[in-house]
Amino acid sequence: MNRAFLPVLKSISIAILAMSSITSVAYANEAAKSAKADPAKGEALFTNGDAARGIVACVSCHGEHGNSTISVNPKLSAQHEAYISKQLHDFTGADRNNPVMTTFAKAMTPEDVKNVSAYLSLQKSAPGAAKNKDIVELGKQIYRGGIAEKNVPACAGCHSPNGAGIPAQFPRIAGQHQDYTIAQLTNFRTGARKNSAQMVSIGKKMSDDEMKAVADYVAGLK
């Protein structure tokens, strides 16, 4: 073999190895991104937290299997996986700042978020119930038909007639605590919560009584 050609051959070999290494790293990163969620790990973090990272057990606020018994804390059981992931991501930004959840969300890794979201999506939701019979009919009318004179669309159009929502698009709200639903609608109205342009617009058009009526009706959906 021509000795003058050896350095060229060596350079080509090194380049091929380098490209192979880059491709392998890229493939590994892509594989990590597409790795399946592990609900078991999600359950462990949800139930026990992680003291080393300052993550308190989610169960302490959101209840066993995500069925919160504290009316100001949302029920998370049976919620769509993509929606939970989005909210945890949004808590780390400016559109949904929360003094409690922002701290925990920032301490969670993308894998944590994926695992916890998967775990909660598989849990069975405990039913709720309407409390005020005097306003639940108004809530039903708004939920199913909207408020035409205020250009408020029917809630059922996005959250479905039974409150199950649409996976990866709109959350499940059936059986949710009245107090929590009212609080979120109010936050959308005031701008305290801004991570849904559609809900910000709707919240600004609804009165306190209309919010309470819808929240009561939603609580009774199954």
Query: From the annotation, which residues make up the binding site for heme c?
Result: 58, 61-62, 101, 155, 158-159, 199
Q: What is the rounded CA–CA span in Å between residue 123 and residue 166?
A: 17
Query: From the annotation, which residues make up the binding site?
Result: 58, 61-62, 101, 155, 158-159, 199
Predicted confidence pLDDT, tens digits, the chain (222 residues):
555 544 544 444 444 444 444 444 443 444 445 579 999 999 999 999 999 999 999 999 999 999 999 999 999 999 999 999 999 999 999 999 999 999 999 999 999 999 999 999 999 999 999 999 999 999 999 999 999 999 999 999 999 999 999 998 999 999 999 999 999 999 999 999 999 999 999 999 999 999 999 999 999 999
Adjacent-strand bridge partners of 147: 152
By residue count, the chain amounts to 222
pTM as predicted: 0.84
DSSP codes, 156-214: HHHH-TTS--BTTTB---TT--HHHHHHHHHHHHHTS--S-HHHHHHHHH--HHHHHHH
What sign does the dihedral 46-62-64-168 (CA atoms) show?
negative
Structural domains of the chain sorted by starting position, each given as residue range(s) with its CATH number in brackets? 39-121 (1.10.760.10), 133-219 (1.10.760.10)
Cα 172 from chain centroid (whole Å): 10
